Homo-oligomer: A and B are copies of this chain.
Amino acid sequence: MGSSDKHENNGRNTPEHEPRGPRTRLSRFRLPGLRRKNSRRIRPAPGTKPGIDAFSGTDTPPSPGEVTIQCVDYGPARLAIREVEDLGAFLKQARPGGAVVRWIDVNGLHPFTVKLVQEAFDLHTLAAEDILNVPQRPTVDFYEKDLFIITRMLTREDDHLIARQISMAFLGDTLITFRERGGDFWAPIRERLKIEGARIRTSDASYLLYALLDAVVDCNFPMLEAYGEELEAMEASVCERPGPPVLRKIHSLKRELTTLRKVIWPMREVIDALHRDERQRLSPTTRVFLRDVYAHITQVLDIIETYRDESNGLADLYMSSVSNRMNDVMKVLTLMASFFIPITFLAGVYGMNFQYIPELKAHYGYPVFWGACAAISLGMWLYFRRKGWIGRP
């Protein structure tokens, strides 16, 4: 598709005043085990028009603090970081001299902001819709020279898996990142930018794109370590005290790992597509480094797969442990019953009030009764011993 497609959404050329469908209900695709944070979930109603204009807040600026924008202009010899207050005015300013790369980081999603940026940089209207319409499946759209990437930053906060959508528009010498509000994941990147002579300073925008993707992927490792530790802890619990809490924990681990795999799998395809991109939109150096990101994300998926197998194994182990325990309980019951039921019957017999029960008159009746009880118990004991129910755990 050519630039004509891309440009046809320029607001000034095709002012569309189509009606908007009902937009009252928040969509809630709760992926099991996954929490999302700090962002309104808005999905246009079926049948309404596509694109950014389908959202209702495009005319109202966001309230203060809802969206913060940071612009970093840098080159080998120059670095300027500033907070953008008035986006409209900022977009009309020229870039400072000596800055080879501009990186605009939009923290927080709002239709007004996104529409401003979309119009200023001629993004496709569907790309703008995808930025807002979280969660989207991680994907990359290739345009003639530009790239539009959707990815997800996964973290674990307060024992909950949280996914924040990060959209990146790569426009040659400019990189725009949109992200759902949350922790400052770009801090190490900014630190590296501050070092004069660092490779990230002397490289082009595609290296910055690589650095961001690398950070997104590597964020998974500390999370996976936490899962690994939990699984290790679970194994002891399963054998020692199987019970509903352990069961629920296993179930929730399985669910989170399944969700994790679902989210990360398409991200691998994104990295792979970027790495294989034959149009040379990214510099060769960057693509060598992307191969490394690809190896990392493959390793992440391998570990997730291993942990899923492990959690499935734990679930099986749990079921087997429960069966084992039930077996133990049943054995105790059966042993108790088998030992006492016959001799209780015998005691009942000699409690009967028949007039003519010769044994009752016998002088040694009572000791003989105890002897019989002991004999019966011994017989039982030998029987169960042979069955292997006694003497071996």
Contacts and interface: CB of A to CB of B under 8 A. Distances in A.
Interface string A124-138: 101001100000110
B341 A338 contact: no
A182 interface: no
Interface stretch (A83-91, A95-103, A170-178, A329-337): A329-337
Contact of A258 (B295, B309, B315, B343): B309
Contacts of A344: 340-341, 344-345, 348
Nearest to A287: B1
Interface string A191-233: 1100101111000000000010011011101101100110110
Instruction: Give the residue among A341, A392, A393 with the most B Cβ atoms within 10 A.
Output: A341
Nearest to A139: B295
Interface in A346-391: 347-361, 363, 365-366, 369, 387-389
A139 B126 CA distance: 26
Contacts of A321: 244, 247
B317 A251 contact: yes
Given A192-B19, A352-B347, A337 B333 contact: yes
20 contacts: A4-B284, A5-B285, A19-B195, A28-B225, A28-B228, A46-B214, A47-B186, A49-B199, A49-B200, A126-B288, A136-B295, A239-B248, A244-B324, A255-B309, A329-B330, A330-B333, A330-B334, A344-B348, A348-B348, A351-B351
